[in-house]
Structure 1
Amino acid sequence: MPSKPAPIKKAAKKEPAKKEEKAPEPAPEVAPAPAEGEAAPAEAAPAEGEAPAAPPAEEPKAPTPPPADAAPTDEAAAPVAADQPATDAALPATEETPAAPAEAPVDAAAPATEETSAATKAPADEETPAAAAEAPADAEAAEAPAPEEPKPPTPPPPPPKEPTSVPLDLFVEDKNDTSVTIIWSQPETVGPSGLDGYTIEVCKDGTEDWKAVNEDLQKSCRYVIKNQTTGDRLKIRVVAVNAGGRSPPVTLPEAVLVKEVADRPKVRLPRFLRQRYVAQVGAKINLTIPFTGKPKPVVTWTKNGQPLDTKRVNIRSTDRDSILFIRASERDDSGVYEMCVKVDDFEDKASLILQIVELPGPPASVKIVDTWGFNVALEWTPPTDNGNTEITGYTIQKADKKTGDWFTVLEHYHRLNATISDLIMGNTYKFRVFSENKCGISNDATVAKEEAKITKTGIEYKPPEYKEHDFTEPPKFTTSLNDRATTVGYSTKLLCSVRGCPKPKVTWMKNQMIIGDDPKFRQICVQGICSLEIRKPGNFDGGVYSCKAKNDHGEATVSCKLEVKQPAVADADKK
């Protein structure tokens, strides 16, 4: 009849648990184990079909000595054998196959401990004689230890690994009531070890209890710190980590208040202020820059990175804008003005460039370089004072030394040298130059110390010879006298025209008699027009009148007949 395997399996599973609790003690001297194929001792081998006999519980005896072959077995061999299922014990025993007691369990080969001695007193030890039958087979397997494998040669030690440099540009990107979002830049020096990631650490303001908030290394340069308490002030820092260790940390300059921002601050810089704002000296500056943000942002101004001089610049800020006011600007007011609006940890900045300009000074020097023919070459240097703005051109003037009057020959001229042409030979000239910028032309000019004299060349002017025209001619009447008729008592006039060179002398005659200075007659001769007026002629004033013209080259005469009529009388008057 086959033996029951259940007690054997149970004993094989319980024993490893006892082995793990305490290391085995050195085994005492034991009797030699039975050889392979031999029968076990009579007390350990129950008859076929009989249950294993349980030892008396009241008298604990010394632990069963392990076989001689099992003494050198490693500690690791016992648990391995104990964990193996007792396959042989599970099979039914036959006449050809030895019964289960032929194999002793590995537990029997293990050294006895205090724990195992005490356990033998318990009733559960009744099953150990059956489990001890598996020991010889497993002890034989653990008898020869496995040969050790040859070790590879030791490689040279690797070069020392260094951590990265400190991360850069850490600042707060966003925040709300429970989280804070930060961003930063990669370290400047990473090194051959590379970069494994970042560790983000926080602690409350006023303490130094830094704790990492990310379990795994952060690969990107942006992280959201979640699950924070509203109203806490947190100090935040970032550390780069690689094979060389931790880098120096980069820490936010100020603690961050975990609080929702209703409206981030924003400066609305007007378009005309996005470029350089230019004004003249003495002008009033009144610039209004609007902004947004809730709650009311804190507005601050700086000039060239320094606080403003409140004696020169006035700042007036409201909930919506800020006004920069200068009553009378000066050149020292020029510079870069920066406006900053801040709400909690968020801020926005805007810069404007203010340039106060005035008229430039005159050129530093002007000189005449060369003079040839009708030309003069001039050179000058830029002014020492450009009026706080660039020079846009020059104006060149000349003056004749005789008159002293200045005339502009070039204006809006950009170069520092010029050639003045078309000068008058024989004259001496002086030259002066004005500077010009966007405000206008300089009040003063720089006059060249030298004078330019346009000398005469060796050419002598000879006027052409002309034959004089002979304009002399004897008198000639171009218009002759005409016969006329008049009535007694009515004045009349005789007209004619004459020419001649030299001017001829004109004489009036009546009936071949020279009239002379008779007051009855009036003689006029202008531009060759000759007239004789007869005032209220009478019956005896009729006759032949002649006009005679005479000069050195001859004479000429014209004549006419004047008839004086009686007025008509009516028939009634005759009677």
Structure 2
Amino acid sequence: MPGKPAPIKKAPAKKAAAKAHEPAAKAPEPAPEPEPAPVEAPPAEAPPAEAAPAEAAPAEAPAEAAPAAEGEAAPAAPAEDTPAAEGSAPAGATANEEGADSTAPAEAAAPAAEDGAAAPAADAPPDAAPAEVEELPKAPTPPPPAVPTSAPLDIAVEDVNESSLTIKWTTPETIGDSGLNGYTVEYRKDGTSDWVVAQELTSANRYCIKNLTAGDLLHVRVVAVNAGGRSEPGTLAGPVPIREVADRPRIRVPRALRSRYVKQVGTQINLVFPFIGKPKPVVSWLKDGQPLDTKRVNIRNSDKDSIIFIRSAQREDSGVYEMTVKVDSFEDKASLTLQIVELPGPPASVKLVDSWGFNAALEWTPPKDSGNTEITGYTIQKADRKTGEWFTVLENYHRLTATVSDLIMGNSYCFRVFAQNQVGISESCAVTKEVATIQKTGIVYKPPEYQERDYSEAPKFTTPLSDRAATVGYTTKLLCSVRGCPKPKIEWLKNQMIIGDDPKFRQISNQGICSLEIRKPCSFDGGVYTCRAKNAQGEATVSCKLEVKQIILSDASKEKGK
């Protein structure tokens, strides 16, 4: 016999529902059974949505029967005879309260949501209008499909040894809107067609392929990858031998050959370009990107240098010479700009534009042949038709027009112009066809008229007199300075009295400096001295005070004097 089920504590709401239905459960009194087995009561009229809550009844049936079994006061009624079995018993209502209230509305709303229409509310009147259905938004326009990038550029070997190969490259020219995810590096051995992936995706622009076998010839390619797929591969120009390079090639260009090398036509050219590299590098030369003409230029190569030799240089030998030394996949390049120059040709034309007074204006055009270098200036010469001798007027002149001056009246002149470059002056010249004749004209000299300026100015003392103190018997001098135009007349006054020609006083006025010398003054010569300057524009005065002091001798000095 199975054990009794454990009592289950009921929620307050469930206990109230159980007490409300107790009389209906006790109505029939069948024969008591020791312990009734719980039987599921299938709902008679329950909808499919309530099937899940109805299954919870067997769990509650033993819980409700547990108090009866403990007290054995009222035996549990069989499930078949209870009102719950008929679908209208309170037990079914209890089960509906516990589970169906929360589950049935959600399950009942599911079909309505699947149909895409809003279900009418249970309390809505029958004539209520249905809810409006919202329009679904339009699907956005799909973006254009991604496009692969262009091929990586400038695939080159950076380093190689007997077990690894390092290559480098530059970013593709066209990447596109989808960006760049990375690069895939692949290689294959010479003679095979199977490409081996060395690196799936790398963001760097260089990669080292390791664990290689010495002596192999490898072809390497790089592919750019983005959302559009793989790009066209960028491939090395040729296979790379996997071996150790003892000494990489390098050209040591002499300092004199690093800039433009200029020589004259007909000179011999013999230039040496040292280099290093091991094993022996392969040397090649190009001129302006094309192979050299061995009939004009001789190249002699050794293990350490390369010599370029031209027996007699000509203008057509000018150009850019490029030397390349190569050891396996490593190479070094150097260039030489050779310029062969010669004397320029004469100016294309020269003409006399105008002549006036003692002057003549000339104009000319640059030479057609500059001598393979720039024109540095022109030399202009003149010749008198009477003597026919040429004289240089202007030298190293840079303009295309000039004015020749200081020509002699009554003479006729012709002119010629030479072109000049860094080699020298042109051998020929351009001569004017016209002749400049300087006409004789009557010349009357008329001096220029100048308006006289009025410099009249009233006297003004620039340095006043200063008060002085003199000693009896010692000559003293009063000084001041004055200016004015016309030259002012100077007068000296003592206590407002004109001194005049008193021999005791000496009056001097020179270049505006006025002085009054008082010879051996006595105590009566003290007072106020005034200097007065007068001219037609006005007068000015300046004064000072002179004090003449007496020397007081002590008694001892008087005795010595006796």
TM-score grouping bracket, smaller chain normalisation: 0.5 to 0.7
In 2 relative to 1, CA 377–197 (structure 1 residues): closer, same or farther, beyond 3 Å?
A: same
Aligned positions of 1:425-504 closer than 5 A: 425-459=409-443
Q: Partner residue of 1:255?
A: 239
SS at 1:214's partner residue?
Answer: strand
- CA distance, structure 2, for counterparts of residue 445 and residue 285 of structure 1: 31
Q: Partner residue of 1:312?
A: 296
Q: Partner residue of 2:309?
A: 325
Aligned positions of 1:124-143 closer than 5 A: none
Q: Partner residue of 2:148?
A: 163
Alignment of 1:243 onto 2:227: yes
Q: Partner residue of 1:423?
A: 407
- CA distance, structure 2, for counterparts of residue 206 and residue 371 of structure 1: 86
1:37 Cα deviation from its structure 2 partner = 5.5
Counterpart residue identity of residue 181, structure 2: D
- CA distance, structure 1, for counterparts of residue 147 and residue 156 of structure 2: 26
Q: Partner residue of 1:207?
A: 192
- CA distance, structure 1, for counterparts of residue 217 and residue 38 of structure 2: 82
Alignment of 1:299 onto 2:283: yes
- CA distance, structure 2, for counterparts of residue 332 and residue 156 of structure 1: 65
- CA distance, structure 1, for counterparts of residue 397 and residue 265 of structure 2: 25
Counterpart residue identity of residue 328, structure 2: D
1:354 Cα deviation from its structure 2 partner = 0.5
In 2 relative to 1, CA 156–361 (structure 1 residues): closer, same or farther, beyond 3 Å?
A: closer
Q: Partner residue of 2:165?
A: 180
- CA distance, structure 2, for counterparts of residue 155 and residue 391 of structure 1: 70
SS at 2:392's partner residue?
Answer: strand
Q: Specify every segment of 5 or more residues in structure 1 that has no aligned partner in the other structure, as ranges.
A: 3-35, 40-94, 97-143, 462-575
Aligned positions of 1:16-415 closer than 5 A: 157-215=142-200, 217-415=201-399
In 2 relative to 1, CA 211–448 (structure 1 residues): closer, same or farther, beyond 3 Å?
A: same
- CA distance, structure 2, for counterparts of residue 450 and residue 191 of structure 1: 70
Q: Partner residue of 2:462?
A: none
TM-score (normalised: structure 2): 0.55
1:156 Cα deviation from its structure 2 partner = 5.2
- CA distance, structure 2, for counterparts of residue 161 and residue 301 of structure 1: 46
Q: Specify every segment of 5 or more residues in structure 2 that has no aligned partner in the other structure, as ranges.
A: 3-36, 41-68, 71-106, 117-135, 446-562
Q: Which moved more, 1:150-159 or 1:370-379?
A: 150-159
Aligned positions of 1:546-561 closer than 5 A: none
- CA distance, structure 2, for counterparts of residue 155 and residue 457 of structure 1: 98
1:38 Cα deviation from its structure 2 partner = 6.2
- CA distance, structure 2, for counterparts of residue 167 and residue 416 of structure 1: 54
1:306 Cα deviation from its structure 2 partner = 1.0
1:206 Cα deviation from its structure 2 partner = 2.4
1:169 Cα deviation from its structure 2 partner = 1.2
SS at 1:440's partner residue?
Answer: coil
SS at 1:213's partner residue?
Answer: strand
Counterpart residue identity of residue 228, structure 2: G
**Sequence identity of aligned pairs in percent?**
67
TM-score (normalised: structure 1): 0.54
SS at 1:181's partner residue?
Answer: strand
- CA distance, structure 1, for counterparts of residue 243 and residue 189 of structure 2: 14
1:189 Cα deviation from its structure 2 partner = 1.2
- CA distance, structure 1, for counterparts of residue 157 and residue 389 of structure 2: 72
Q: Deviations over 1:471-514 (max 9, x none)?
A: xxxxxxxxxxxxxxxxxxxxxxxxxxxxxxxxxxxxxxxxxxxx
- CA distance, structure 2, for counterparts of residue 340 and residue 382 of structure 1: 40
Counterpart residue identity of residue 262, structure 1: A
Q: Deviations over 1:334-353 (max 9, x none)?
A: 11101000111111110010
1:205 Cα deviation from its structure 2 partner = 1.5
Q: Deviations over 1:370-417 (max 9, x none)?
A: 101000011111100111111111100000000000000111111111
- CA distance, structure 1, for counterparts of residue 162 and residue 417 of structure 2: 70
Q: Partner residue of 2:512?
A: none
1:155 Cα deviation from its structure 2 partner = 6.3
SS at 2:316's partner residue?
Answer: helix
- CA distance, structure 2, for counterparts of residue 309 and residue 192 of structure 1: 50
Counterpart residue identity of residue 196, structure 2: K
SS at 2:167's partner residue?
Answer: strand
1:332 Cα deviation from its structure 2 partner = 0.8
1:158 Cα deviation from its structure 2 partner = 3.6
- CA distance, structure 1, for counterparts of residue 340 and residue 368 of structure 2: 17
SS at 1:272's partner residue?
Answer: helix
